[in-house]
Structure 1
Amino acid sequence: MTTTPAAEEVHGTRTDREIAAADAYSAHNYHPLPVVVASAEGAWMTDVEGRRYLDMLAGYSALNFGHGNPRLIAAAKAQLDRVTLTSRAFHHDRFGQFCRELAELCGMEAVLPMNTGAEAVETAVKTARKWGYRVKGVPDGRARIVVAANNFHGRTTTVISFSTDPEARADYGPYTPGFDVVPYGDLAALEAVLDANGDDTVAVLLEPIQGEAGVLVPPPGYLAGVRALTRERGVLFIADEIQSGLGRTGRTFACEHEDVAPDVYVLGKALGGGVVPVSAVVSSREVLGVFRPGEHGSTFGGNPLACAVGLEVVDMLRSGEYQARAAELGAHLHGELALLVGGGAVTQVRGRGLWAGVDIDPALGTGREISERLLARGVLVKDTHGSTIRLAPPLVISKDDLDWSLTQLREVLAAG
């Protein structure tokens, strides 16, 4: 057997050895920061060398409730002792309760559970097309879905077919047809496409806040305008709240900031509490009622362990405690970040709640370089699109820890 240099014995720290093993035996689809996490609790992580880091990313919102949240771990452990998987060939005693309580949290009527966010988006696309043919009466094969430029809805072949990010899209064709891309935040462009498509548009699929694009918040009134246009034209409004939902922005859903209720919520990440992958499409009985047995499914979707954890997440959100915490600490976060703009280091800050995109002056370094400098100070963030870094700490972070992370950021920027 041929052994690559990376797979040979590596001397140095345990971190070096773990990273070398990962490089040697895994596909290089990610470029992680050079830290190897061994344990975590709350908002803090500890690496294999015993160094501690403040997690300011929270698994892209999958860890809204922090690492090892006692309520979520207890719910998972209790279910592990009972039953973890039945497949949907049989009923189990957590499924109905999970679907009912999640539907109620969303103000909806029905739930279709899946596993990952990308699966849920694919499910929403299939739902919209089937609804268009069976309910709206669109001629077969003509259904169209309108999406926004700079979107990020996942990595599957259909989803990347309507991505405008060359890195996510290149070399994966031929691409799935049936999508129209319009500029994010541009109601006039959306209306023009709806006019051009006649009655063939079945849905508008949007992130209420575009996370991967740099935490882009649309102009005031945009979501309300989308809601009005889609209702007027008989088109489904699908809100991808996989990152923005479940407390991140200071409300249960980011759409609530404009008092908007979409026709369909796409949920994931925090729904699994950072314990197991859980996602769902949540809508009305009319919309999700288009599926008949055998037309769509998932072996693990809605499994007992996922439902037990998801139920605990729903119960935690029902109190409003985490939403209020995100709103309060988020206001403080954005107030402090705003002070950095205009001083030559930060050019713009965007976001809502405990979620921010910070554009660093490229003269100071790329987003990756800034992330590495923060890593050296014990703060974990992630870059996106050049010189932008994202801040999205667990909602359980303390104000003191949040302030400490901001001090580290200020000092990194001041050091140039």
Structure 2
Amino acid sequence: MIEDMLRTPAAVQDAERHTAHNYHPLPVVISSAEGAWVTDVDGRRYLDCLAGYSALNFGHRHPTLIAAAHAQLDRLTLTSRAFVHDQFADFCRELAALCGKDLVLPMNTGAEAVETGIKVARKWGYQVKGVPAGQANIVVAEGNFHGRTTTIVSFSTDEDARADFGPYTPGFRVVPYGDLAALAGAVDEHTVAVLLEPIQGEQGVVVPPSDYLPGVRQLCTERNVLFVADEIQSGLGRTGATFACEQEGVVPDMYLLGKALGGGIVPVSAVAADADVLGVLRPGQHGSTFGGNPLACAVATEVVRLLATGEFQRRSAELGERLHAGLRGLIGKGLVAVRGRGLWAGLDIDPALMSGRAACERLMARGVLAKDTHGSTIRLAPPLTITAEEIDHAVAQLAAVLAG
């Protein structure tokens, strides 16, 4: 039988046998990819509508990014920050310009960028704002997802992410997302930062009320508090603008960036802020051996240059309208709600129909890859290189799944 000749079942079992079970992946084993499409070990092709949780905004193996990586691999890959290398200045200068900020601090993973933001905000609070030693607090939102370090899960409200990892790091106040009054009530004289996702990705692509981010910005300015925007998933073109904050006319004091910054090739993250904020750090107070390494900088500089053209932001905005129009047409036909912006959508499936996991498995069987979250919700975040025809194909496959 054909099924007996497939490599996927054995490959899945082998992977499960030798790894800790901290993920529950779909049973697909990908061996190659290009653009918006991936191919498994049995030669089956799938339309990738997850894009590495926005790490693959420019698609798989974007030729400009691959060329930059190849060229740098032949020259220099790592020096550590003990020395300066010839790719560092261009990356930092061009990313700072894209963000409209003075300085950039490169790291590797998104969680490292968040940890860096927390440390910088606290140090700024003590040295600039004058908060008494050890008294700084940071206000965060329910439903947040900022990473999985012990400090970050300390203020998570997701029990799967948080439970049994205590004792928890103090210094955080959690308020409902989108509630300005609750936020204002939590900020006091010892608050150094408000840390928020402009759109909550892991929670199901939750977009706050239109007055929320402007209200946060005004409150932070009035109370002398840093507004720290975690744009690791929402930034770098995903929502139809360079940053999701832009769409509300808001400029935070600090951007936390990651995922797409590495072009889907290497892990790259960064914190961007003005000199009066990032300037509080001095040599020896924070660092990373691999942060800002030559290979990462070579790739990420090309990512910044792709974004500087505005092409990908426009694609996300225009094709996002097509995606959301198609998805809204499925409300009442198996979907109960659609949220999002640009090429980013959270879909709530009627729980009486099926779970999000079941929907993703059935989509996979029809050649489309997506991922579930929180029960009956699935997320779509295709590469920004996707075509209109491919969007229509994904929506059609979803419609077929919902129709049974």
Which TM bucket (shorter chain)? Answer: over 0.9
- Counterparts of 1:212 and 1:277, CA distance in 2: 19
Show the counterpart of 2:231.
241
Output aligned runs, 1:45-194, within 5 Å. Answer: 45-194=38-187
- Counterparts of 1:142 and 1:342, CA distance in 2: 50
- Counterparts of 1:204 and 1:12, CA distance in 2: 54
Work out whether 1:27 is the aligned partner of 2:20: yes
- 1:361-386 residue CA offsets vs partner (Å, 9 max, x unmatched): 01111000000000000000000000
Output aligned runs, 1:10-409, within 5 Å. Answer: 13-194=6-187, 197=188, 199-343=189-333, 345-409=334-398
TM-score normalized by the length of structure 2? 0.99
- Counterparts of 2:86 and 2:62, CA distance in 1: 24
Amino acid at match of 2:330: L
Q: Percent identity?
A: 70
- 1:232-274 residue CA offsets vs partner (Å, 9 max, x unmatched): 0000000000000000000000000111000000000000000
- The aligned length equals 401
Amino acid at match of 1:175: Y
Amino acid at match of 2:299: V
> How far apart are residue 342 of structure 1 and its match?
2.6
- Counterparts of 2:8 and 2:271, CA distance in 1: 39
> How far apart are residue 13 of structure 1 and its match?
3.0
- Counterparts of 1:220 and 1:230, CA distance in 2: 17
- Counterparts of 2:307 and 2:265, CA distance in 1: 16
Amino acid at match of 1:200: H
- 1:64-116 residue CA offsets vs partner (Å, 9 max, x unmatched): 00000000000000111110000001110111111110000000000000000
- Counterparts of 1:18 and 1:127, CA distance in 2: 44
Q: Secondary structure at the match of 1:362?
A: coil
Amino acid at match of 2:350: D
> How far apart are residue 12 of structure 1 and its match?
6.2
- 1:190-234 residue CA offsets vs partner (Å, 9 max, x unmatched): 01111xx3x100000000000000000000110000000000000
- Counterparts of 1:12 and 1:25, CA distance in 2: 23
Where does structure 2 lack aligned partners over 5 or more consecutive residues? none
Show the counterpart of 1:4.
none
- Counterparts of 2:258 and 2:92, CA distance in 1: 14
Q: Higher mean Cα deviation, 315-324 or 331-340? A: 331-340
- Counterparts of 1:139 and 1:12, CA distance in 2: 67
Amino acid at match of 1:319: T
| Runs (4+) off by over 3 Å | none
> How far apart are residue 293 of structure 1 and its match?
0.3
- Counterparts of 2:15 and 2:40, CA distance in 1: 15
- Counterparts of 1:379 and 1:24, CA distance in 2: 26
- Counterparts of 1:377 and 1:335, CA distance in 2: 21
- Counterparts of 1:121 and 1:190, CA distance in 2: 20
- Counterparts of 1:132 and 1:96, CA distance in 2: 28
Q: Secondary structure at the match of 1:364?
A: coil
- Counterparts of 2:138 and 2:127, CA distance in 1: 16
- Counterparts of 2:170 and 2:118, CA distance in 1: 12
- 1:95-149 residue CA offsets vs partner (Å, 9 max, x unmatched): 1111110000000000000000000000000000000001111000000000000
- Counterparts of 2:327 and 2:46, CA distance in 1: 21
Where does structure 1 lack aligned partners over 5 or more consecutive residues? 1-10
